[in-house]
Structure 1
Amino acid sequence: MLLTAAFIAALAVLIVLQLREEVASRRIETALRVEKAEAECASLLNIAIMTGASARQALAQCHPGGLATAFHLSATGDVLAVYGANQKVRLDPGTARALSLDRRGEEVLDLPSGKAVAAWRPLDNGEAVLVAAPAKDIYQRTPVWIGYGLILAAITLVTASLMAAFLRQSRAAADAAGAVRTLREFSAALAGGRCSPWRYDGKSRTVTMARSLLEPLGLGGRDRVFTLREISALAHPEDLRAALAILTGEPAGLNEGQIRLRDPGGGWSRLYLRTAPDATRFKRSGVAFDLSGARTVTPAVALAESRLRDAIESIPEAFVLWDAQGRLVVWNRRFSTIFRFPDRALEPGLPSREVAARARARGDIVQQYFAPEAALDQQSVEVALPGDHWLHVSRRRTAEGGLVCIASNITDVKRRARAQKKRERDLKNLVADLERSRRELTETMRKYELEKHRAEEANRSKSEFLAHMSHELRTPLNAINGFSEIMHSELYGPLGDKKYKEYVADILASGRHLLELIDDILDMSKIEAGRVELQPRRVDLERVLQESVRLIAKRAADAGVRLTAHVRHAPAVWADARAVKQVTLNLLSNAVKFTPAGGEIAVTAEADLDGVTVIVADSGAGIDSRRLRRLGAPFEFADDHFSRSRSGAGLGLALSKSLMEMQGGILAIASQPGKGTVACATFPRRKDARVRLPQFIRNEAHILTAPAASETMHVASEAAE
């Protein structure tokens, strides 16, 4: 029992250690998935911000699954967008503002929903992305201790059952040893005391008696069945009535008594017959004793022998008993079945070698583990049988020097033990694979960070180069344009030839056009570098639209295009004044540029409760649907690159798209080839307004800005408040 308790205690310690490793493995897996998701979300959000895609869709693409939640945060910690199980991971504003969002980090946070592993990093525009998941397990799987607890309980139950079976076997072996001694004494008493059990068969009206009584009387050397006629011939006439009454129950009322039987020598032998008081006429048995001077045994011996045999047969394990001389004494049916002994092949008194020789299956195991000659270095031993079966053999010496062997079937226990070892090996291999994957992931993340840093450096160098070169080009262009204007206006006198004046006009037009291109490139590079900071406030939209129309009116007149504006009483908007003017001028410039002479351009404003839409409609050539989807990207044109007849760098719509997204507005274009184009720019009337396009163009327009731009602006405003 002490060894069993020590085994269970050691197993419990091993399971606790394995449990801790499994819990640690789940925590490591959660941290790795959060860290990986944070890196992917940062890349996708940077791309979404550059392209105007939905931040929530980007978070959905990089979401690691399970109970994790991805947050798009502002530089001050306000939640801009969220995706995931935010009921399981709730990020309160105080905790978000306490984090250092300007640099990458990871930490276990105490959130209102519990402890969570969080990883964050800044985005290119100064905002940040944060991914968090429950610290214990990102997938909220079944607690590890339940499985290991069930395993420990099962092993403890099996061990306790085996221990109880062993104790029962030990007690049964002790009881069997005592019963065998009683059986041997009873057998000796029957053989030497000249007594016999008898049985009466009411159907055949016969009496059966054993050789142990009949042989000393000279009535036969074997068990014999007597008819009532034979009993009448053997019994003394004076005792015949009593003999028939005891043996057959007729007449009833007599259960025991002495009778005399005739022996072969002509004398009389005295017998004592006895039966149970409740014996019936149809089922009657008893005991006969020889009273001719020989010693007799008590009738309880026969009953003890019968009970002993029943007890041995009821044992579920294989049982065999040998005497001190190594001869077979008693066995049960289980022992015969295991080694496939033929019927009546075993009999008391056989030596062990003869018993092993008569076995049809594995007689060598009988000789090696069950025979008295086998070495008893181990009182308990496990024996393998064919077909992946196992026996646990327990051997004990009896008081007289014999041997008791009991064999239990432990096949199921061995198979469960092998299965448990296989599970332990699989678990160790899984832990090793996870460790290797973690190391590979760490190395991959390091390389990714290095490449990302190089890409960011290259992008920053490109933006700085463009900005620097744009400034370098603007300085000489300003001089060229200034001197060209002086020469074109002939401020210091007329030019010598009209051709010179035409040349000066061409130089001035080209210089102005080149200056516009440089200004667009400079603005685009500033936006990409994150250096553009808008200052939204209430803007008088009517005044801005009228100024823009006046600036474009001369260019439209020179191009032979009629420009009309209906913008009176346009309500104020919440935006950056310079950005509103630049978007309006870009839309008007594009309309003038792509409207042929004799065409018309109309500027109107339509307002609702949340926003004001500036509508610029022209009667130009229009744009087909395939090229319409490509508008809004830098250096993209509405017509073919090789056949276009208009000048420009293709940055006007890209700048307008970026400026509208930064203000929470919408930029959309609807066009039909041969009929013209309608461009719409919708500005919010309040800082928390959610804008939408007018109903008349909502179904036909192609929206250039991000689909969730206004929604994201609305969420950010609510979080700020």
Structure 2
Amino acid sequence: MTRTVALTAILAATLFIIYDTARTLDEARRDLTAIGALMADEIAATTAPLPQLQQAVRLSGGVVHARLHADPSTAPQRTLVSEQFPVGQHGILLLEANEDLIWPGLLVRALAALAVAALMTGLSWRRSHFNEMPDRMQRFVYQTLASAVPMGMACWTKSGQLVVCNQQYRERLDLEGTSVTYPQMVKRLIAGGYMKLVNDADNTRLMELHREDGSCMLIEERPLGDGNFLTLVTDVTERKKADSLLNSIREEQRLLARRYHEEKLKAEAASRSKTNFLAHLSHDVRTPLNHIIGFAELMRHEAYGPLGDRRYKDYVQSIKSSGEHLLDSFATILDLAELEGGQKMLRSDPLSVDELLDEVGQRFRGQTARAGLSFVRGEGCGAVVHGDRLGLLRMIGNIVENAIRFTPSGGRVTLAAFAAHDGVVIEITDTGLGMNEERLASLSQPFALGDATFTREGVGHGLGISISRAIAELSGGHMAIDSSPSLGTTVAISLPLRSEEGIRAAE
């Protein structure tokens, strides 16, 4: 409002000065024109030569000086308060008003107009400065707005006087009257708790009020256009409790994650220790076993004379068979330890998946026939993978051997492969005994013999699946097992293809 009044007053003063200047100059030129016309007629009517004329004529608006110039070229240029009149053969008559009497009057009136504008601006500033409280209409607007807001709301003048507040504000801050000032309200609130500044940026201040009863209020201050400001109060007690609970849960999650990481490191260290132990044990046991097997072979052939009783030959054969079985078991343990420990490197040669499956099928076809099973070889996929030939044959052979071992007579074993643009999947499916979820979960651990259903003759130490899984993972693939009791088992081994050239047969 003060700026508007000031601009209006200055504009009015400027227009008055312009109008007064134009009017004064116009009146002076009209007087000069009237006087000059009369004097020019009188001089032009005179036929006798005239001496140089210099005359002063006093008017009500000032003094007019008249000069006659016989030579027009010597006459001065016209000004704002001068006029020239031709007088025939006598030359030019120049009339000029006295500027010393015109401009001071204009200046006085201009200063008076500017003084009036300054006075109006000062009065307006004084009224706005000393009367901060909004008028009745503004108070009504503020009150209507405060009543519609669902949170506590109060409007204050820039000096801290309360303008209006709604009922929520009164209830949450325990206000009884409207005569309270902002500093008094803040002092009252801090006396019952403490206040913490959360944010003070972009002309908005955000504070948290923590009270003695445990409640928490969020107070937000926002400026208004007329220099006043408003405060918004929100009860955030429940949100604070939820945040505290959430922080506690996150802290517990961090502790659990750290403990999990520590236990994982311990488990990995234990696994490495186990692998190293098995590797050393296999090396230490294989040497005496080789001696036992060798001496049993010599005794069986009676290289240094007969043994006597023929039963000794059966005992020697049992010693040799048991030793060979132990040697094979420890060799398998050593292989698993080397595979899991990353000590055994696998080759990476291009291999045809169809040729691998044909070789495995040829190897086990006789065994399936003796077990009374039908062996089904799926259609070729035409895929070429990169891997270790002996390792992949052993991987597939272990799964096929398990399938034959746990499938009753009359069942079926299927060996198939399916290729895509990014990999190939080898599936070994049987219609055997199957496994429940508990048994299926135990297959991830070596030496898992299972229940009595699986303790058949020739069952090893449960390392075949573990070795196959290790070979699949070292080849960049994965192995998955799906099984149901009395329905059979399907083992899927996925291997990656290095490039699209690995698929020779498309469709």
Give yes or no for TM over 0.5.
Answer: no
Q: Bigger radius of gyration, 1 or 2? A: 2
TM-score, normalised relative to structure 2: 0.43
Q: TM-score if structure 1 supplies the norm length?
A: 0.32
Q: More helix per residue: 1 or 2?
A: 2
